[in-house]
Structure formats: structure tokens, C-alpha cells
């Protein structure tokens, strides 16, 4: 696919409540190339799509996600109207429409994510090219690599691109995902010369979007994915 990949952050977070089916649908309506979401494992073992380790910021509930059953989580509301989706529900929604970046946010998420990816590749229309798995949690990334040699991994970093490159070598990763605050023209070039795609987050302002394009990044992750289509 030509040009910079347009990636919706937690769906289209700037328009609709993050990590909800409705937010993901909005990103799809904009025509994104990919959608980034976060997963946690709940008490009953399912993978739910939500960013924080706790419920308090984004829902009408409180407490740790890992201590709640799926039934308890499904009874809650995000911004008083939306439901917390399962990873499988998100995959069913976007199948054939775009690719997905699954961030392993919570602990013990790699094994179930690996099982779901393999199931969707085997039983549905998904391919390995349609997935990238990223995380700040090294243990989860190493577990994912141990479970599946084929899955594409992205190294998240908000501290050092060069450290991310070194970790990427150990994990046989395919991409570096640096925060906007640490990215430079030089470390974009260094990452690409080392064989990695560079997908930068979270880029919302038009001037930053333009600068990232000028730096030659491979993908831009934005709360406002519609802005990635604007010509400047």
C-alpha cells in the first residue's frame, strides 16, 4: 500500500469513546488502513478491548479489569452508552476492511491473543499480514514470539528508539512504534535502515502530521484518523 499508513488510535478516539465498536466503526468509515486497540484479560479468561488496567476512567464501574468476569464487564457502560467489546467482536467487525494493531496492555494476554489470531487465520479470512501485535511489556512480547514465529511484532517506546531497535532484534520484530515525543528524522532513518517499519503515536495536530510525513514514517496513529486524509 502506497503512502503513509493511516491508523486509527483506539478506533477513532477523538470522535467516539475509545476502544468501542462504535469508535472502530467510525474509523472504518474514514477509510483507515489499520486500527489500533488495547486488550486486557478478564477474570474469566476472555480478552476485552479497553486501555486502562482499571475501569474507573472510561466506564461507570470501578476496580481492576483482571478481577472482573466478562458478565460483570458487559454490564458496564462506556460514556453511559457503549459496551466494552471482546477482541473477537472487534475482529469480526473489521474482517476484510483493514488491518489491526493489537496492543497487549494487560498481563497474561499473549497466550490468548496468539490462540485467537491462529483461530481467525485458520477459520476466517484473516492472514498474518493483517495483524501486528505490540506492547510495552517485554515479557508478553517474548511469550508471543515463543508461541508464534510468524506473527508480526511492534516494539512500543516512549523512551529510546535505539533501545527499541535493539529489543526488536531479540524479538525478530517488524516495526518500531515510538511516541511522537521521541521521534527524530535521524532515528526514523536508523530504524528503517535496520529493517523496521516506523509507526508513530499519537499524532493529532496537522503540523505534527505534516512533520511525520516529512520524516518519512511508515504509519501514523491518530485519535483523529480523518485528519490523516487531509492534504496539507
Residues with catalytic function: 9, 51
What the block records as the C-alpha cell of 180 is 511522537
Q: How many CB atoms are closer than 10 A to CB 44?
A: 12
What the block records as the C-alpha cell of 58 is 472510561
For the chain, the helix, strand and coil percentages under 3-state DSSP, each to the nearest 5: 40, 20, 40
Give the Cα separation of 208 and 213 in Å (integer): 9
Q: How many residues does the chain have?
A: 232
Buried b (16+ CB within 10 A) or exposed e, 113-123: bbebbbebbee
What the block records as the C-alpha cell of 144 is 508471543
216 Cβ contact partners less than 8 Å away, ≥ 6 residues apart: 185, 188, 189, 192
Q: Specify the residue for cell string 536508523.
A: 190
Amino acid at each position: 500500500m502506497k503512502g503513509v499508513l493511516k491508523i486509527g488510535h483506539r478506533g477513532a478516539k477523538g470522535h467516539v469513546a475509545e476502544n468501542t465498536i462504535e469508535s472502530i466503526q467510525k474509523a472504518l468509515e474514514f477509510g483507515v488502513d489499520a486500527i489500533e486497540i488495547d486488550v486486557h484479560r478478564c477474570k474469566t479468561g476472555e480478552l476485552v478491548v479497553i486501555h486502562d488496567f482499571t475501569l474507573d476512567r472510561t466506564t461507570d464501574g470501578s476496580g481492576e479489569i483482571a478481577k472482573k468476569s466478562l458478565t460483570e464487564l458487559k454490564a458496564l457502560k462506556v460514556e453511559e452508552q457503549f459496551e466494552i467489546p471482546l477482541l473477537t467482536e472487534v475482529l469480526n467487525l473489521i474482517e476484510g476492511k483493514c488491518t489491526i494493531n493489537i496492543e497487549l496492555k494487560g498481563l497474561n494476554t499473549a497466550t490468548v491473543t496468539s490462540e485467537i489470531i491462529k483461530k481467525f487465520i485458520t477459520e476466517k479470512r484473516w492472514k498474518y499480514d493483517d495483524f501486528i501485535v505490540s506492547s510495552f511489556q517485554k515479557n508478553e512480547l517474548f511469550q508471543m514470539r515463543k508461541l508464534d514465529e510468524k506473527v508480526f511484532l511492534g516494539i512500543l517506546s516512549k523512551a529510546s528508539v535505539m533501545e527499541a531497535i535493539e529489543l526488536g532484534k531479540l524479538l525478530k520484530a517488524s516495526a518500531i512504534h515510538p511516541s511522537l515525543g521521541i521521534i527524530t528524522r535521524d532515528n526514523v532513518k536508523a530504524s528503517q535502515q535496520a529493517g523496521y517499519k516506523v509507526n508513530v503515536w499519537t499524532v493529532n495536530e496537522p503540523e505534527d502530521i505534516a512533520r511525520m510525513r516529512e520524516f518519512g514514517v511508515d504509519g501514523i496513529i491518530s485519535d483523529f484518523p480523518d485528519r490523516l486524509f487531509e492534504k496539507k
